[in-house]
Amino acid sequence: MKAITYRAFGTASEVLQIEDMASPVPQPGEVLVDVVYSGVNPSDVKTRTRGQPGLQGFPWDFIIPHSDGSGVISAVGEGVPDSRIGERVWIWNGQFRRHWGTAAQQVALPSEQAVLLPDAVSLEAGAVLGIPGLTAGFAVFGRGDVTGKTVLVQGGAGTVGILAVQLAKWGGARVIATCGATGSDRVLTAGADVVLDYRAADLAAQILAANMGKPVDLIVEVEFGSNIATDAEVIAENGRIAAYGSAREMSPSLPFLPLLFKAVTVDIILVYLLTQAQREATIAQLQAALAAGALQFDIQKVYSISEACAAHEAVEAGARQGAVLLQLAPEPSR
């Protein structure tokens, strides 16, 4: 089988290569997935350039990147029922703290990390569910029901943001989203009640006006450091800020007093480290939303396995209009 590998940290053009590898063998409790699509996320780019937090140096002989993917189970290890063979699945945490991710034509991993994909959902969409889907799901539903609440999604046109908009709307919330001008139509189509330009000088006032003068209950936040002053101004008492990113300002200065006197919960999300209970609950919410037809997935481009370098560079460039995927094999017939 073929795989994308790298054997040192560096730029995509310097270190990514295609290699022929022996197929992995599923161990007890594992499944073997024939991967069709592998999702490329910003975390995959960061891992390729600097490694994963908590791991020293280059910890393995090689790394096959990517945590997200989709495909079909072709074999199972001891303790996994044979009935799983032939299942279409989506994958989470494929390359987290291990060297073999989803950028390979086959991957063996614990059975619970290959989740049954509903029949009506494409394998392309399945490759977006791991990091973006679980992040959006936990950000919206991780601390409870959002029915009747107002949810502000900062960065609503991003891959996580646009899923958060759809999930919050499906969950019964009023949704206000911010994004750049080029993404506003996509975010409105996704179900946002109001879309605002994140660059507006009076953004906080516009958010409150969009919610009839009332503060918002939940903020799904892509740029915590840059937006915390606005967030502190518009969040309700006992509200929650679910922050999953802060790339522009990694050492933010917090307006502690406003947050204190509103008893705000700042919930910093790292989807890789959800507890078992949190992950199971979030997967159940995602599966229910998929079954209800509540989610649509924006795919910017599907690259071939030989274009892995270009796929990584597209993610590094930012300002995407959807997910970036690698196709490892043809779609299986159904």
Identify whether 137 is part of a domain: yes
Report CA Rg, the chain: 20
Residue 318 pLDDT > 90, yes or no?
A: no
- Domain residue limits at 121: 2-128+297-327
- The confidence score (pLDDT) of residue 29 equals 98
What's the mean pLDDT in 131-137? 98
Do residues 153 and 252 both lie within one domain?
A: yes
3-state secondary structure of 325: strand
Backbone φ and ψ for 90, nearest 5 degrees, come out as -115, 150
Please state, rounded to an integer, the average pLDDT across all residues of the chain.
Answer: 97
Whether residue 66 sits in one domain with residue 150: no
Inside any domain, residue 333 = no
pLDDT of residue 55: 80
pLDDT of residue 179: 97
Residue 292 lies in a domain: no
13: CATH = 3.90.180.10
| 120 alpha-carbon distance from chain centroid | 20
Residues 237 and 260 in one domain: yes
Q: Is the residue at 287 inside a domain?
A: no
Are 55 and 158 members of one domain?
no
E strand residue ranges, the chain: 2-5, 17-20, 30-40, 68-76, 88-91, 106-110, 114-116, 150-154, 174-179, 194-197, 216-221, 235-243, 265-268, 299-304, 323-327
Q: Are residues 124 and 137 in the same domain?
A: no
118 plus 185 within the same structural domain: no
Residue 59: CB atoms within 10 A of its CB come to 13
Instruction: Indicate whether 222 and 265 sit together in one domain.
Output: yes
Position 260 in a domain: yes
Instruction: Give the closest residue to 103 by CA, choosing from 33, 50, 184.
Output: 33
Residue 207 dihedral angles phi and psi, to the nearest 5°? -65, -45
Say if residue 36 is in the same domain as residue 113. yes
Q: Does residue 27 share a domain with residue 154?
A: no
φ, ψ of residue 300 in degrees (nearest 5): -70, -45
Same domain, yes or no, for 165 and 66? no
Residue 173 lies in a domain: yes
* 289 is a domain residue: no
The C-alpha atoms of residue 166 and residue 132 are separated, in whole angstroms, by: 13
Query: Residue 279 domain-assigned?
Result: no
Question: What is the per-residue pLDDT for 81?
Answer: 98
CB atoms within 10 A of CB 83: 9
pLDDT above 90 for 311: yes
Q: What confidence tens digit (pLDDT) does each residue in 44-68 have?
A: 999 999 888 778 889 999 999 999 9
Instruction: Indicate the number of domains in the chain.
Output: 2
Judge contact between 39 and 69, C-beta under 8 A: yes
Are residue 90 and residue 147 in the same domain, yes or no? no
The per-residue pLDDT for 153 is 98
User: 221: domain CATH number?
Assistant: 3.40.50.720
Do 223 and 238 belong together in one domain?
yes
Q: Summarize pLDDT for 195-249 with one digit per residue, the tens.
A: 999 999 999 999 999 999 999 999 999 999 999 999 999 999 999 999 999 999 9
Closest CA to 219 of 259, 159, 275: 259
